[in-house]
Structure 1
Amino acid sequence: MSELLTYSALSILAVSFGVGIVVGLTGMGGGALMTPALIFLGVNPTAAVANDLVAASLNKSVGAAVHARAGSPNWRLAGWLMLGSVPTAAAGAFIIDAIGADEDQTTFVKTAIGVALLLTAATYTLRSYLNVRAARNGRVVTTDSPTIRPLATVAVGAVGGLLVGVTSVGSGSLIMVSLLLLYPTLTAVRLVGTDLVQAVPLVLSAAITHVIVTGVDFGVLVPLVVGGVPGTYLGARIANRVPQGIVRRGIVVVLSITGLTLLGVPPVAVGIIAAGLVILGPVAWSLLRSRIGVPEGVDLFAEKRDLDRLHQEGRP
């Protein structure tokens, strides 16, 4: 109990509560935010990945159960994804362990997380662009059971599983964008439900092998869960009152800056890039909005389900 009342544990609890709010607000995966936050709080990168995966396995199980009860997942599609993702996710801990000395493992994991964060920022931006372009083109998504492409789906699962197994980042970003590209007619509720259902065994397999190889630090894990659950609940409750587009754009900037920092980019360069993103980002979005003809009433970072609803209501 004394380990849970230390300054470090309370810091983790506060950060996990904040990350939970963001997850509840936007639906973005907590791993992309929580794992680097743990590293910056002084937690060893391999331990950060292991404990975050265990916490994520609990959180994702709850979300998946809700979607499963509602009947929203495409179980065939989820099965093909699991076929690829579960084995590679389980291999992540053993890949890190095979690197060698602790210093080498730390460098490898920090570099991998940095790359994963930049990839997450890029794929989330691409996901938002694809969503809005599809809605603007007048496509109403109504297909619950598209034709499955087994080989491509297994490949997506394998790559996504490996990324999660090594970094704990990517289960809700890379795989989601890949599903959008492979199955553009899949309804939004099926898309989210399928992604959540397949993510449970993916994260569980990664968490189990990380526990076997690295172990669990309850001084990190308990604050993660205790802070994250109420934070997520609060974020979900206030989601309709907060301009989520601004929050999502801010997260993309944070992920980019954090990824560059973990990759060892000099602080001055990171600062210049951050200033450029903050100042020039809105200008770039405005130009892109004009190019694809998105009216001011539609947020470029809106979720697929929101855009489907707007189009079905007759809004452009």
Structure 2
Amino acid sequence: MFSFIFLGFLVGFLVGLTGIGGGALMTPSLIFLGIEPLMAVGTDLLYATVTRIFGVFFHHKKGSIRFDLALRLFAGSLPAILLSSILLRVIDKSTLNNYLTLLLGVILVVSSFLSLVKGEFHVPIRPRREYLYLLGFIVGLTVQFTSVGAGVIVSFALMNLAKLSPREVVGVTIFYGLPLSFLSALNYAFLGSTNYHLALLLIAGTLPGVYLGTHVNRKVDRDKLKRVINVIILVIGLLTLFQRVI
């Protein structure tokens, strides 16, 4: 019981600090603690929804949310949500989850490693709209099937494709992830793959974690936060690959 509460606090802190955490940290942790993969994904999506409600509230008060970017990302995710809702009901879930998570682990490791080695990319000041729609579609698929992507992939992409402050990156990531995780959580609830008691334990620990992480965020500069995000992405990718290979 207390291990789940502490896990909620730790992940909540990282969500508030970096926007990363919903699926990339929580789902592998739940599986490691003995929760079956499908139940871990559904429970994490419910947990992530509640976590991001408080994260959005804190970041909106600080004026760090770029609503235009977040809404374009969500517009791209809508067709992905509809498509994946159908696929979840017709394709073997365990097989699909294994292959998608394995692929995601490879992408996370490669992208984070290149960013850590080569540093800043030469990018336009404002990302093109079609890139945001495409990014939203891809993330919509990965979140629906694995609960991973709304924090990790979007944070990484915005750090390298847009000239945003660290707080704006986190604000956009959390605001965009809120409706995405909510709709995905509903889908898993209808499938009967949500542990509500476990979700409540995680939420109880996450509230102070998000509050603390959000307030620490404003004291971290862009370069330091980017390095932290890339290291977290690399570790998550390696852990994901290790779990799937084993």
TM-score range, shorter chain: 0.7 to 0.9
1:227 paired with 2:205, answer yes
Matches within 5 A, 1:96-107: 96-100=88-92, 105-107=93-95
SS of the residue aligned with 1:185? coil
Q: Which residue of 2 aligns with 1:260?
A: 241
Match of 1:109 in 2: 97
Shift of 1:199: 1.7
CA contact (8 A) 1:21 1:232 kept: yes
Pairing 1:125-274 to 2, within 5 Å after superposition: 125-126=113-114, 132-133=119-120, 146=126, 149-182=128-161, 184-235=162-213, 251-252=232-233, 254-265=235-246
Relative contact order higher in (CA < 8 Å, ≥ 6 apart): 2
Change (3 A) 1:12 1:247: same
Partner of 2:11: 19
What is the match of residue 269 of structure 1? none
The alpha-carbon deviation at position 255 of structure 1 amounts to 1.8
Label 1:213 to 1:76 Cα distance change in 2 as closer, same or farther (>3 A). Answer: same
**C-alpha separation between the residues in 2 aligned to 1:216 and 1:231?**
23
Judge conservation of contact 1:91–1:206 (CA < 8 Å) in 2.
no
Deviation at 1:193, TM superposition (A): 2.5
Q: Which residue of 1 aligns with 2:79?
A: 87
Deviation of the 1:234 alpha carbon: 4.7
**Higher Rg of the two aligned structures:** 1
Q: Deviations for 1:244-268, whole angstroms, at most 9, x for unmatched residues?
A: 8997676445323321223224xxx
Q: TM-score, normalization: structure 1?
A: 0.63
The aligned amino acid for 1:48 is A
Seen in structure 2, the aligned counterparts of structure 1 residues 80 and 246 have a Cα distance that, compared at 3 Å, is: closer
Letter in 1 for 2:64: S
Q: Does 2:53 match 1:61?
A: yes
Cα distance, 1:53 vs structure 2: 0.6
User: Deviation at 1:35?
Assistant: 0.1
- Aligned residue-pair number: 242
Q: Deviations over 1:115-135 (max 9, x none)?
A: 3244334444455567x536x
Q: Is the Cα–Cα contact under 8 Å of residues 51 and 220 in structure 1 kept in the other structure?
A: yes
Once the two structures are TM-superposed, the CA of residue 42 in structure 1 deviates from its matched residue by 1.8
RMSD: 3.4
Measured after TM superposition, the shift of residue 36 of structure 1 is 0.9
> Which segments of 5 or more consecutive residues in structure 1 lack a partner in the other structure?
1-8, 266-316
**Residue 172 of structure 1, CA deviation:** 1.7
Q: Distance in 1 between matches of 2:19 and 2:215?
A: 12
Deviation at 1:236, TM superposition (A): 5.4
1:198 CA drift (Å): 1.8
SS in 1 for 2:25: helix
Output the CA distance in 2 between the equivalents of 1:75 and 1:27: 15
Measured in 2, the distance between the counterparts of 1:172 and 1:129 equals 22
Contact 1:32 1:120 in 2 (8 A): no
